[in-house]
Amino acid sequence: MAFMPDASRPTPDSLQKLVLPEPLRLDCGQVLEHVEIAYETWGQLNSEKSNAVLVCHALTGDQFCASENPVTGRPAWWPRMVGPGLPVDTDKYFVIASNVLGGCMGTTGPASLHADGKPWGTRFPVITIADMVRAQRGLIAALGIDSLFCVIGGSMGGMQVLEWAVQAPEQVFAGVPIATAARHSAQNIAFYEIGRQAIMSDPEWKDGAYLAHGTRPDRGLAIARMAAHVTYVSESALKRKFDRGLQDRERTSFSFDADFQIESYLRYQGRSFTDRFDANSYLYVTRAMDYYDLAAAHGGRLSDPFVGTPVRFCLFSFSSDWHYTPAEAMAVTRALVAAGADVSHIEIETDKGHDAFLLEEPGFESALAGFLTASAKRRGL
pLDDT at residue 251 in the model: 60
Residues 136 and 210 occupy one common structural domain: no
Residue 210 sits in which domain range?
A: 188-287
Residues 76 and 154 occupy one common structural domain: yes
Residue 153's SS3 state is strand
Residues 111 and 143 occupy one common structural domain: yes
pLDDT averaged over every residue in the chain: 94
Query: If you write DSSP's letter for every residue of 264-331 in order, what string do you get?
Result: HHHHHHHHHHHTT--HHHHHHHHHHHHH-BTTGGGTT-TTGGGTT---EEEEEEETT-SSS-HHHHHH
pLDDT at residue 254 in the model: 62
Residues 107 and 132 occupy one common structural domain: yes
Residue 94 belongs to domain with CATH number: 3.40.50.1820
* Active-site residue set: 155, 321, 354
Among 287, 307, 333, residue at a domain's last position: 287
Is residue 7 in a domain?
A: no
Q: How confident is the model at residue 255 (pLDDT cuts 50, 70, 90)?
A: low
Residues 55-112: tens digit of each pLDDT: 999 999 999 999 999 999 999 999 999 999 999 999 999 999 999 999 999 999 999 9
Residues 178 and 225 occupy one common structural domain: no
pLDDT at residue 1 in the model: 41
Q: How confident is the model at residue 206 (pLDDT cuts 50, 70, 90)?
A: very high
Instruction: Give me the mean pLDDT over the 14-29 stretch.
Output: 96
Tell me how many domains the chain contains.
2
Residues 155-170: tens digit of each pLDDT: 999 999 999 999 999 9
Task: Name the residue type at position 171.
Answer: Q
Instruction: Give me the mean pLDDT over the 245-270 stretch.
Output: 74
pLDDT at residue 2 in the model: 43
Interhelix angle 129-142/156-167, rounded to 10 degrees, is: 70
Residue 24's SS3 state is strand
Examine the pLDDT at 200 and tell me if it is beyond 90: yes
How far is it, in rounded angstroms, from Cα 217 to Cα 279? 7
pLDDT at residue 326 in the model: 98
Residues 211 and 326 occupy one common structural domain: no
How far is it, in rounded angstroms, from Cα 342 to Cα 95? 23
Q: How confident is the model at residue 194 (pLDDT cuts 50, 70, 90)?
A: very high
Query: If you write DSSP's letter for every residue of 57-110 in order, what string do you get?
Result: P-TT--S-SSS--TTT-PPPS-TTTEETTSSEETTT-EEEEEPPTT-SSSSSST
Q: How confident is the model at residue 196 (pLDDT cuts 50, 70, 90)?
A: very high
Examine the pLDDT at 270 and tell me if it is beyond 90: no
Is residue 6 in a domain?
A: no
How far is it, in rounded angstroms, from Cα 150 to Cα 52? 7
Q: Percentage of residues in the chain with pLDDT exceeding 90?
A: 85
Residue 250 belongs to domain with CATH number: 1.10.1740.110
Among 287, 308, 335, residue at a domain's last position: 287
φ, ψ dihedrals at 128, nearest 5°? -130, 170
Interhelix angle 186-201/218-232, rounded to 10 degrees, is: 160
Residues 211 and 170 occupy one common structural domain: no
Residues 116-133: tens digit of each pLDDT: 999 999 999 999 999 999
Residues 257 and 362 occupy one common structural domain: no
User: Which phi-psi region, left, alpha or beta, contains residue 13 (left: φ > 0; alpha: ψ -120 to 50)?
Assistant: alpha
Is residue 4 in a domain?
A: no
Q: How confident is the model at residue 149 (pLDDT cuts 50, 70, 90)?
A: very high
Residues 280-323: tens digit of each pLDDT: 999 999 999 999 999 999 999 999 999 999 999 999 999 999 99
246 secondary structure, DSSP code: B
Residues 348 and 314 occupy one common structural domain: yes
- The three-state DSSP-derived secondary structure of 99-114 is CCCCCCCCCCCCCCEC
Pairing of strands 148-154, 172-178: parallel
pLDDT at residue 252 in the model: 61
pLDDT at residue 272 in the model: 87
How far is it, in rounded angstroms, from Cα 115 to Cα 343? 45
Is residue 3 in a domain?
A: no
Rg (CA), the chain: 20
Is residue 112 in a domain?
A: yes
Examine the pLDDT at 172 and tell me if it is beyond 60: yes
Range in 198-212, 260-274, 353-367 the model is least confident about:
260-274
Among 252, 287, 322, residue at a domain's last position: 287
